[in-house]
Homo-oligomer: A and B are copies of this chain.
Amino acid sequence: MKIAEKKALKRESIIQTALQLFSVNGFHRTTIPDIASKLQMSVGNLYNYFSSKDILAQEIIKYTSEALGEKIRVVNGLDVSAEQKIHEIVDIYFTMAKEKPEMIEYFLRVYLSNREVFSDGCQGMVCVAGFITEIMVFFDDSVSSGELRNQDFFSAFGLFMGYLGGMVFLKGEDVLPQDIEFYIDDISRNIYNALKA
């Protein structure tokens, strides 16, 4: 294996480990030594891959957003109704929240919560472009096809991001009486009703 490849692999393993720790313990409660020690790596060496803790956090949100965007891109390629696509997207999101909670948790607990960390390097929403772009594609397609009402994109995007994120937050707070999957149908319906033409 080439050196460049090895480096890329290690880079990714750092991202994965840091993602895990940040999402569980929060950004400020996770230290660089914590991350290095879980990776059995020296702190000094970790700095060879990411030049600061903030930069590392930024790379993680890009990585996560990309991964989520990827899944939605698949949905966008399906030949089904907008209503079904909404159901799919909600399903993907909640399933991920259940099976890979660290990604969604990272979004809520690290990205959304520590703006200082992301203010230099992730202005606007460039670091979550992967996710936004796919929602935008979905929305534009569905408006074009006449299935969804035409309205300001952010009114629609806020609905997706806020509603889904909010539900996962409530789950995390242990206030939902049901499992998160229980809400998929209700919430898909609500979103569809909100946006339909």
Contacts and interface: CB of A to CB of B under 8 A. Distances in A.
Given A26-B114, A26-B116, A115-B26, A161 B151 contact: no
A124 B173 contact: yes
| Residues of A contacting B: mostly | helix
Interface in A139-197: 151-152, 154-159, 161-167, 169-170, 172-178, 182-183, 186-187, 190-191, 193-196
A176 B154 contact: yes
A25 B109 CA distance: 16
Contact of A175 (B28, B115, B154, B170): B154
Contacts of A194: 190-191, 193-194
B152 A163 contact: no
Interface string A102-123: 0000001100111110000001
Contacts of A174: 123-124
A125 interface: yes
Nearest to A165: B162
A29 interface: yes
Given A162-B164, A167-B162, A175-B154, A112 B116 contact: no
A167 to B, nearest CB: 4
Interface of A: 25-26, 28-29, 108-109, 112-116, 123-125, 151-152, 154-159, 161-167, 169-170, 172-178, 182-183, 186-187, 190-191, 193-196
